[in-house]
Chains A and B, each alone.
Chain A
């Protein structure tokens, strides 16, 4: 990115480096949320509906992991994916794939814990009806998730917020490589360390606007869905 340019000039001037960074940030964080959702939505629902020995412990741990420190997750994933580590043969360290996996790990507890709460509350309402209709346990999970879809969008947004805002994980497993693994947050960290604080702050505002835009789109989709499905 050109030196001394204000963030605004970069945005409206269509600076390709900035747009590349924005695209990568969205790609990584959105993919991480989708990947996390594939695991965490059914798991959270399962946790809500099934009582097994040790369930309370699992619930407490999942809730606690909502606060997993990103830098610790980043370090752990780094050690796993390093060529000297057990999964080194995958060769995905310092690539966006590693960043997606690491961010997904951060997002899973958030989506699972919030899904559990949403589904548990919904089950109180639906229990008798679904039992009377003799719905099998696996079908129950799918039905509750689908019927709770609007509340679950909010949990996914919470997960996205966490992913888009963090820097510790993607810095360590991505390496902040120019043009390849540099995201908004790592770019902000870099400009700060170069002393270009106005640009760093400007990028920060762009990031915030991006997050708001994603939330607004999700809210819009939710409203349309609610009007159509009641």
Chain B
């Protein structure tokens, strides 16, 4: 019997992504291990989204590399949720079935987990922002991921909707899925984090577990950010 294929640890080995003249991320050295959620924290433009896309395999680094469980190609059990998810032009249930590849009772379970059971037959494009985010989450979970990437999932949601999403994310994390989430919201990072990866200007500035990071940040940029200053 072969050992099950795993994408963890997910390692960045001096990875950089250059677009034209601009280096969007530079010399990333990072290991993501199984366990509590890893939060990518930092101001806008700090490279969080790009890091997630590199980890998901949506883009390739222009120098250096990314490995998944020691392999050079990402595995199958990765899923991602985007800040503005694209709803397919069909019902909510059909969206989940699409991700699942077929229509079976798992669709109902996933919708229920996302609190959308009552909206199963509603056209997905007619759901509210928060409902669409939860549907995107259900879709991502349909792929039974080992790692779930989330790119600022609640950035455009009101507090009630934000809480609903965060609750599901916590539940998913507790069930053993590794969460890697980008956010610029310090409060959200505090609520969800196991460990923090702090980024600014395309570089990894600081890496620490949550408790240590928020009480005593090691770098001036992190300190400034936590104080509420703009980190340019």
Contacts and interface: CB of A to CB of B under 8 A. Distances in A.
Contacts of A229: 89-91, 123, 125
A229 B126 CA distance: 8
A230 B86 CA distance: 13
A129 to B, nearest CB: 4
A133 B99 contact: yes
A164 B143 CA distance: 48
Contacts of A146: 89-90
Contacts of B82: 128-129, 132
B16 to A, nearest CB: 21
Nearest to A146: B89
Interface in A118-166: 125-126, 128-129, 131-134, 143, 146-147, 149
A144 B89 CA distance: 10
A147 B87 CA distance: 10
A134 B124 contact: no
B52 to A, nearest CB: 10
Contacts of A125: 86
A147 B89 contact: yes
A149 B89 CA distance: 9
A51 interface: no
B139 interface: yes
Contacts of A134: 76, 143
A194 interface: no
A149 B85 CA distance: 20
B118 interface: no
A230 B124 contact: yes
Interface of A: 125-126, 128-129, 131-134, 143, 146-147, 149, 228-230
9 contacts: A125-B86, A129-B82, A129-B86, A134-B143, A143-B88, A143-B98, A147-B89, A229-B89, A230-B124
